[in-house]
Structure 1
Amino acid sequence: MDANDTIDALAALAQPTRMEAFRRLAAAEPEGIAAGDLARRLDIPQNTMSTHLAVLTRAGLATGERQGRSIIYRAELTALRKVLLFLLQDCCEGRPEICAPLLASPCCVPQE
């Protein structure tokens, strides 16, 4: 991950519909969600959703796989992780304990 890739990913997420689409894709992991279903859930036209998904895909934040007549989209969580790690690469001038709370997010703790 480099600065340009990070900028592309952040630019893709810097739009309300795409941000919500990515959040819905992440919530649907690992099964993914059909583009049409995602459009219905966000109450936007399917062609508009396709455009937003194309932006997320070009930025490396989503992938699509054809299954019959549908395209199932999935969040690329590894790419998002790389973006976050790039942003925190030089965190706190070599004092990682300051950034540790950012990396220990409660949403990502395995549930027992």
Structure 2
Amino acid sequence: MDSIESAKVLKELGHPERLRVFQELSDVGLEGITVGELRDRLKLNGSTLSNYLSNLVAVNLVVQVREGKSIRCTANYDTFDAAFDYIRRNCGKCPATY
């Protein structure tokens, strides 16, 4: 991951509600959750959640898979880890390992 990609990921996670969406998907784990279930858990209206998910999908923090009429969402930990690994490796005063 390069600086531009890392910055885009961090920008999306920097919004409190998008961070809350990612946290909920992280809590659910690798099996993911449907958009409807996520909407109900977070008590968000559909268009707002759709907007948040669209932003997270755009930077590859969320993966969506169609299941019939539903869409299942899963947190993409590889992208999350890569963004923070970039910061750890490229910030001059950061310790080499954590």
TM norm structure 1: 0.80
Could you tell me which residue of structure 1 aligns to residue 20 of structure 2? 20
Give every structure 1 segment of 4 or more consecutive aligned residues whose post-TM-superposition deviation is greater than 2 Å: 90-96
Identity, % of aligned positions: 27
Whether the aligned pair in 1 keeps the contact of 2:88 and 2:95 (CA below 8 Å) is no
Which stretch shifts more, 86-95 or 38-47?
86-95
What is the aligned-residue RMSD (CA, Å)?
A: 1.7
5+ residue gaps, structure 2, are: none
Based on CA coordinates, which of the two structures has the bigger radius of gyration?
1
1:89: which partner in 2? 89
The alpha-carbon distance between structure 1 residues 92 and 55, as it changes in their structure 2 partners (threshold 3 A), is same
* Amino acid across the alignment from 1:33: I
Distance (whole Å) between structure 1 residues aligned to residue 3 and residue 39 of structure 2: 31
Structure 1 unmatched ranges of 5 or more? 101-112
Residues 27-106 of structure 1 aligned to structure 2 (within 5 Å): 27-90=27-90, 96=96, 99-100=97-98
> Scaled by the length of structure 2, what TM-score is found?
0.91
